Amino acid sequence: MTQPFVRPDVRALLEQMEAAGGKRAVDVSLEEARGMLHASRHLFDAPTGELAVIRDLAGGPCPMRLYDAKGERGPGPCLVFYHGGGYVLGNIDTHEPLCAEIARLADLPVVSVGYRLAPEHPFPAGVEDAIAAARWVAGSPAELGREATGLVLAGDSAGGTFTIVTALALRNEPAEVPLLAQWPIYPAANPTRHHPSLDQFGEGFMLSRESMAWFDECYAPNKADWRYDPLLKDHVGMPPTLVVTAGLDPIRDQGRAYAAALAEAGVAVVYLECAGTIHGFMNLRKALPSVQGDLERCAKHLRVLLEDGQ
C-alpha cells in the first residue's frame, strides 16, 4: 500500500510527540485533557499578536469575544466562530490566536463563541448555544458595537459541525440578517457512517480513534438527530461554502462527503483538502510553519465566496 504524503514539518511534530510518549485525551483525566489543550496553545500555536480590538462581550447567551483588526468599521458581514475540541475540550482562549489571525486575513469582525461543554452539559446544550449565539450577533446588539449586515459561520472540528448545524437552523428559520457563507474546517459532518479515512489515519496522526470514541461518550448525543449528524438533513438552499479538510485526518472523508452533498444539492462549494497535514493543524502554526499558507489560502477563498454572493 502506498504511504501517504506527510509534510516535513508534520512528520517532525509527529515524531517529536511519539518520542515524548505523547498522551491522548482518552489516556488522562478530563481535567488533564483540558489542561493539555490549553498548554498546547502556548507550545504549538502562534502568538495572538496585535489587534485593534480583543474584547469580551456581555449580554449574549454564552461567553463570547470580539476580534477585529479595525477599531471601528461601518456596517458589514460578521464572522461567528465555533472552537473545536470534541465538544469536551477547548474554549475561547485556546482558539484566540486562530480567531485573531482570521480577523486580520479576512478583514472581518470575528465573534468567538464559548458554548457549554460536555460531559457537564451533554448534547444538545453546546449546539443550542451555537445557534443562539449566531442569532444574537445577527441582531447587532449594542454590546457588539458593530452593525452586522450578514453572517459568516466558521469553526474547526466539533466547531465545524456546529457551523453546519447552525447554518441549517438559520436556513430553516432565518435570523435578522442573511447567512452569507459558511466555512467548516475538518468537520465531523457524517459521524454515524464509517468512512475509510478512519481506518487509514485512526492512530498515529494526532486525533485517534480511541479519543474520538471518548469524546462521543462524553457528548452523549442522540445519533438519530441531525444536530449530531447534519448529513441526515437535505442541504438545498445552504449558503456558499468553503469546506476544509486535512489529508491525514481520520474524519477527512466526512468533510469530503459533506462537500459532495452540497454540490449535489446545487450549493456553491469550494472543497480544499490540505495535503500532508493532520487534524487540528489550524491551531499549530508555531509548530507547523506550513499552516500559515493554508490559512491564507482559506481567507482568499472565503473572500471570493463573499464577493460572488454580493
Catalytically annotated residues: 157, 249, 279
- In what helix (H) or strand (E) does residue 152 lie, and over which residues does it extend? strand 148-156
Cross-strand pairs, 153: 80, 182
Around Cβ 35, how many Cβ atoms within 10 Å? 13
Distance CA 79, CA 61 (A): 17
Cβ neighbours of 19 (radius 10 Å) = 8
Establish whether the linkage from the previous residue to 250 is cis, with ω within 30° of 0.
no
Q: First and final CA of the chain: distance in angstroms?
A: 46
Pairing of strands 64-68, 76-82: unpaired
| Residues in a beta bridge with 78 | 151
As given in the structure block, the three cell numbers for residue 93 are: 482562549
| Calpha distance 245→145 (Å, rounded) | 33
3-state secondary structure of 5: coil
From residue 21, give the alpha-carbon distance in Å to each of 8, 17, 18, 272. 20, 6, 5, 32
CA distance 215 to 237: 31
Grid cell locating 223: 445519533
Residue among 170, 206, 167 at smallest CA distance from 189 = 167
